[in-house]
Amino acid sequence: MKDSLGWHPTQRVGVFVDTQNLYHSARDYYERTVNFASLLNYAVAGRQLVRATAYVVERDGDTSAWPFIYKLSTIGYRVRRMTLQLHHTTDDGKPIYEGNWDMGIAADMVRLMHTLDVVVLGSGDGDFVEILEVLMERGIRVEVVAFKETTAQKLIDAVDKFTHLPDIPDPFMPQRERSYPGASEK
């Protein structure tokens, strides 16, 4: 569904997708896997794509995410990868890992803001509100595609358009094509 207010085919669009955020929401609430090709098609919506970036977190030495990364690159995403880092160890010896792309996503938005008319964020993380407000102050339209169940209300309230990901055409991969087991746990 295109929202006619603010939509024009000459708009230059940047798409920024936090794959971990969407992967875990789809798995936890729908027991499904996101169709990232459909997400990209919906986000661009007949406008001019400047860049689509998918942000991936991987476990060191784990190759299970490679087919997923390859597929993202073949459907039009530039893939940025990060390896989980040991954050600390609990008193009982359990390792706690960290891998978060929030600052990288925000930095990429700032790097591209002078070439974009529209930013589409694929994440429900409320930490993005501040950077998205800065972009909107500079005249950039901001749209979010994520799961309403896991999207911060302050993010929904802040942006020009919010789309519940299951409402886009073909939001999930067919059950037999699940190719990404989840590179990390949040």
Give residue 22's pLDDT.
98
Mean pLDDT, rounded, of the chain: 91
| pLDDT value at residue 186 | 43
Q: Show the DSSP H helices in the chain as ranges.
A: 19-30, 36-44, 66-74, 102-112, 129-137, 153-158
Report d(CA 124, CA 163) in Å as an integer: 11
What Å distances lie between residue 40 and 72, 148, 153, 160, CA to CA? Answer: 10, 18, 23, 18
CA distance 169 to 1: 9
Enumerate residues 6+ apart whose C-beta is below 8 A from 164. Answer: 146, 147, 148
Backbone angles phi, psi at 126, to 5 degrees: -65, -15
Q: With 60 as the cut, is the pLDDT of residue 185 above it?
A: no
- How many CB atoms lie under 10 A from the CB of residue 160? 16
Name residue 117's amino acid.
Answer: D
The kind and range of the H/E element at 52 are strand 48-58
Q: Which domains does the chain have, with CATH numbers?
A: 12-177 (3.40.50.1010)
Structure-token pair, residue 98: 């960290």
Closest Cα partner for 108 from 68, 158, 54? 54
User: Percentage of the chain surpassing pLDDT 90?
Assistant: 76
Please report which confidence band the pLDDT of residue 4 belongs to, taking 50, 70 and 90 as the band edges: very low
Beta strand pairing call for 12-18 and 48-58: parallel
Residue 92 has pLDDT above 50, yes or no: yes
**Residue 177, pLDDT above cutoff 60:** no
Is the pLDDT confidence value at 56 over 80? yes
* pTM of structure: 0.87
Query: What does the alpha-carbon distance between residue 48 and residue 171 come to, in Å, rounded to a whole number?
Result: 21
pLDDT band at 61 (very low <50, low <70, confident <90, very high): confident
Give the per-residue pLDDT at 183: 45
